[in-house]
Amino acid sequence: MSIDIKTATIEAKRTTFDHIVEKLGEGKTPTRYQEAVFGHQAEEVFHYRPTWDSERELFDARRTAIVMNDFEDLLDPRQYYYGTYVIQRSKQRESQEKNFSVVEKRGLLEDLDAVMKEKISKVVVPFRHAEWGANNNNYYIAGYGFQTPITAAATFQGMDRLANAQYLTSIGLILSSNDPAILDQAKDEWLNTPMWQGLRKLVEDSFVTKDWFELHVLQNYLLDGVFQPLLFKHFENEVVKNGGAAFAMLTEFFVDWFVESQRWADSTIKVAVKESDANKALVESWINKWQPTVIAAADQLAEFVFAERSKDIIQQIETELDARSKKIGIQVQEK
């Protein structure tokens, strides 16, 4: 049956689902983002306690010490739902792929001097393991976090980090003309050289951090807030200044991605901090607990890369991070 009538005569009974109306008020037309993230996590009538966590319900707000009246307030300012996320990333991928193929085809990295090449393979390539760590941590947040806005965004963040790790792998393979030995060597350095051990220990410590919001602060705010600018701003500048403009083509994705993901980290933490003094005190305690260790780990790496300039660069990074902290309502400790 196909009913052929003027569609103007068809009147809708309602604009959206009841739970969205409750949230936004009568008469508002929700966006697809709002329909995608509001009201989907089961809230009651849980049939069984998890065998892996018998103290709590399957979805349980108590897996973080942060307390929110409504965890759905932890919105993603980019308003990503699956469709908009993959479409946006696919556009970026296209230009990233072009950059890779230009650099590879023309051999643009080959003219780089040996010292710089060595530095890239010792600094950028091993960092793929840290990105993999970030991938794992974001899936933890996605799995054990509370409500959809934060868990959906953490899933995207997790995918992004796997992509980052894979892009860094590709950079290594371009440098070595596809000889995988460069990756083995990078892994060996990640596991054994002293300059990586501060970061590796931090990443492993993050793997056993149970509070998912603390993990969010540690991974997506502190670790990223220090290591992303260290590698993809300061180190990248260094390579570019030394004749490696092509390198910037390979890491363009990271730069854009970081700007974007910072907005999400800042905004979610800001909302939690604003919610209550207790939340604010918690986030501050996490920042105070982790930031010095993150900075110390970055110091070890910076010394190798920037030698005598490393102190300045780390200070610059920390100043920027502290400025972000102030902006989102966090009291910054005197250094």
- 98 part of the interface to other proteins, by CB under 8 A: no
Subset of residues 17 to 46 that bind other proteins, contact rule: CB under 8 A: 17-19, 32, 35-36, 39-46
Q: Which of 4, 277, 308, 334 binds other proteins (CB under 8 A)?
A: 4
- 293 part of the interface to other proteins, by CB under 8 A: no
Q: Which of 61, 67, 86, 255 binds other proteins (CB under 8 A)?
A: 86
Subset of residues 119 to 148 that bind other proteins, contact rule: CB under 8 A: 128-129, 131-132, 135-136, 139-140, 142-144, 148
Residue-wise burial string across 221-252, b where 16 or more C-beta atoms lie within 10 A, e elsewhere? bbbbbbbbbbbbbbbbebbeeeebebbebbbb
Distances (CA, A) of 149 to 29, 74, 117, 295: 19, 6, 41, 30
Q: How many residues does the chain have?
A: 335
Which has the closest alpha carbon to 165: 105, 222, 124?
Answer: 124
Stretch that binds other proteins, among 183-191, 224-232, 267-275, 276-284 (CB under 8 A): 183-191
- 114 part of the interface to other proteins, by CB under 8 A: no
- 13 part of the interface to other proteins, by CB under 8 A: yes
Q: Which of 99, 121, 151, 279 binds other proteins (CB under 8 A)?
A: 151
Run of H or E including 20: helix 18-24
- 83 part of the interface to other proteins, by CB under 8 A: yes
Which lies closer to other proteins via its Cβ, residue 74 or residue 328?
74
What value, to the nearest 5°, has the Cα angle with vertex 95 and ends 246 and 320?
Answer: 70
Interface with other proteins: number of residues (CB under 8 A)? 90
Subset of residues 197 to 236 that bind other proteins, contact rule: CB under 8 A: 200-201, 204-205, 207-208
What backbone phi and psi angles, to 5 degrees, belong to 110?
Answer: -70, -25
Q: Are 305 and 119 in contact (CB under 8 A)?
A: yes
